[in-house]
Amino acid sequence: DVKVTQSSRYLVKRTGEKVFLECVQDMDHENMFWYRQDPGLGLRLIYFSYDVKMKEKGDIPEGYSVSREKKERFSLILESASTNQTSMYLCASSPGTSGSFTDTQYFGPGTRLTVL
Amino acid sequence: GNSVTQMEGPVTLSEEAFLTINCTYTATGYPSLFWYVQYPGEGLQLLLKATKADDKGSNKGFEATYRKETTSFHLEKGSVQVSDSAVYFCALGRSQGNLIFGKGTKLSVKP
């Protein structure tokens, strides 16, 4: 079974802190994604990566950065956390085969981040 | 641009009722379409998908047919169970394996 794990289920941080959210997948997938999930807004793509050291902006990248130093690990960084970044953060991975339009994404359990 | 519109909830049904959750999309080309489900306290998991027009995806008694003429991918189940209570997301595939998600529909099934 594909497993995507996220470093924390719940996290509480203060405004202005630098926050790291870690995601690890064990299926040698090429693609990895970070989403945030908010009530009434669904999931919105923050950043994705289709290879080690590669990253692409998603639909809402402002205030975030990412790092992918190893294939299995994809980190989301909040450089200076703000209260409007309080949300559920979901990491996902997908095989990244030539038919990537049809790829299934596999999700982690999510990290609920609260910024005070 | 690409977008997904799905029926807003919440939807409350009695056990064994018929379920339909509507999903329509706007896209250039012929995207793949997906339904994901999120059970309480968990991440999303794929429920079913269809990769071309007229394809029917099915899983766990759920079905959805890719209708190009109506740009729709409605989710149906003939007889829901309490264990089907969850949030359902319709999604559209973009390049590099990206997905655009609808806002989600919360389903509650009462015994």
Burial pattern A66-98, b for ≥16 Cβ within 10 A else e, equals bbbeebbebbbebeebeeebbbbbbbbbbbbee
Token duo for residue A77: 């960084």
Q: How far is CA A42 from CA A37, A99, B5, B38, B101, in A?
A: 6, 25, 11, 11, 7
Q: Which helix (H) or strand (E) holds A96?
A: none
Confidence of residue A2 (pLDDT cuts 50, 70, 90): low
Q: What distance in Å separates the CA atoms of residue A6 and residue A71, rounded to the nearest whole number?
A: 15
Question: Is residue A74 predicted with pLDDT exceeding 90?
Answer: yes
Question: Under a CB-based contact definition with an 8 Å cutoff, are residues A43 and B101 in contact?
Answer: yes
Choose the closest CB to A42 out of B45, B89, B94.
B89
Question: Under a CB-based contact definition with an 8 Å cutoff, are residues A34 and A74 in contact?
Answer: yes
> What average pLDDT is seen over chain B?
93
Burial class (CB in 10 A: 0-12, 13-18, 19+), B9: middle
Question: Under a CB-based contact definition with an 8 Å cutoff, are residues B33 and B93 in contact?
Answer: yes
Chain B residues in contact with A105 by the CB 8 A cut-off are 44, 46, 97, 99
Chain B residues in contact with A4 by the CB 8 A cut-off are 43
Q: Which chain B residue shows the shortest CA-CA distance from A51?
A: B96
**CB contact, 8 Å: A10 with chain B?**
no
Confidence of residue A100 (pLDDT cuts 50, 70, 90): low
CB-based contact A107 B44, cutoff 8 Å: yes
Place of tokens 């991440």: B43
**Quick one: pLDDT at residue A99?**
55
Question: Is residue B56 predicted with pLDDT exceeding 60?
Answer: yes
pLDDT digits (tens, 9 = 90+) for A7-22: 999 999 999 999 999 9
Q: How far is A84 from chain B (nearest CA, A)?
A: 19
Chain B residues in contact with A56 by the CB 8 A cut-off are 96
CB-based contact A31 B97, cutoff 8 Å: yes
Average pLDDT over residues A31-54: 92
Q: How far is A38 from chain B (nearest CA, A)?
A: 9
Chain A residues in contact with B97 by the CB 8 A cut-off are 31, 48, 50, 94, 96, 100-101, 103, 105
Report the number of secondary-structure helices (H) and strands (E) in chain B.
0, 12
pLDDT digits (tens, 9 = 90+) for B37-52: 999 988 899 999 999 8
B109, β-bridge pairs: B13
B interface mutation test: which of A34, A43, A49 has the most B CBs within 10 A? A43
**Cβ–Cβ pairs < 8 A, chains A and B:** 70
